[in-house]
Amino acid sequence: MSSDTHHEGPLHGVRVVEFGSLLAGPFCSQLLADFGADVIKCEPPRQGDPMREWGQEKPHGKSLWWPIVARNKKSITVDLRTPEGQSVARRLIAQSDVVVENFRPGTMERWGLGYEEMSADNPGLVMVRVSGFGQTGPYSSRPGYGSVGEAMGGLRYVVGDPQTPPSRVGVSLGDSLAGTFAALGAVLALRVRDQSGRGQVVDSAIYEAVLAMMESLLPEYTLGGHVRERTGAILPNIAPSNVYPTRDDGLLLIAANQDTVFRRLASAMDMTELSTDPRFATHAARGHHQGELDEIIARWSGQHDTEHLMAVMIKHDVPVGRVYRAPEMLDDEHFAAREAIVRVEHPEFGEFPMQNVVPRLSRTPGRVKWTGPRLGEHTDEVLTGIVGLAKAEINELRASGVI
């Protein structure tokens, strides 16, 4: 992969001020920082973003999530609940291109930091607003976590085993989706600003970000009278496409639902007769007899070891993949060849593995430059170099607890 060595990412020169906490807004600005934006994260003095404390495992009492979601960012502390802190924020926003915030709608306005006020001083400002229910509508003032957005956006109901209550996906998908759409909105708004000189508001609601991923769920009901239900590991009427057992207790995802691919699978199984069996010969027939077909494949796969089955599927060009956990990802040659996992130096943990930047740009790729910063690590740098405060002013703000 070639790149311009002088280029620091396609968003180099874009200054982003991040307010808010936890995940949806910070994930948006993580994506922007990955591609070179100068992201300044504003945190409350003393305690900082609660994400600094989140995570199932906390070696050395430190979050393993924070170094990822705050990577490539600078941290300053400022108390936005004080007039002095609000003044600092206004001066910083006036020198910036993008504001990212995920407070409950109306919060920024109460602090005198709403879009109308900020754009009066900075007409090109793009304000990215991430919330549970959006900036308008009867639910806009409600608190809205990612889990609630996943539930109301339709995702939770269709995830899990049909015999159990709705399940969680396993990651904070609603927050991440809202953050991803917010980052897309920021880039689109910057494009328009470069053409017109005017900024705008990007309104990313978690429940709408989830809803955007729900495929044909709505017309299936309105036009077909069908409500999607939980189906576990399968997609109804798409067969075969399932997780199948192996003799050595492995799990393989085999997807052979196209007619041509299914014929290759039947050949790999030494059961070519399956491809002409009226129950399985066509896509529609396989969907109708999905349970029977899955039982046949599972009985066959259970007689072979995982690696052998992988080799057979690859030889016959049948899409296949092991169900990976972290150990398998770290040991996979393809992950290594593409540097899908990058290792970044961390002051406490040493070499810190994390997912690399996506998507990949051939000429101006993003990169991970550093892990999440210490609380307030860049306060003096930002307040002197960008906001223009004198050292005496900074000392006074620090003494009064504003920073």
Just list the catalytic residues.
Answer: 175
Cα 291 to the chain's mean position, in Å?
A: 34
Task: Give, in order, the Cα–Cα distances in Å from 189 to each of 100, 129, 134, 299, 368.
Answer: 13, 13, 17, 54, 24
The C-alpha atoms of residue 63 and residue 55 are separated, in whole angstroms, by 6
Strands (E), 89-231: 98-101, 126-131, 201-205
- DSSP conformation letters of 104-128: PTTHHHHTT-SHHHHHHH-TT-EEE
Whether the bond into 50 is cis, omega within 30 of 0:
no
Q: Is the dihedral of CA 322, 328, 330, 331 positive or negative?
A: negative
- For 76-105, the DSSP string reads EE--TTSHHHHHHHHHHHTT-SEEEE-SPT
Tell me the two tokens of residue 269: 């199984």
Q: What is the DSSP letter of 345?
A: E
Query: Is residue 182 a contact partner of residue 202, using CB atoms and an 8 Å limit?
Result: yes
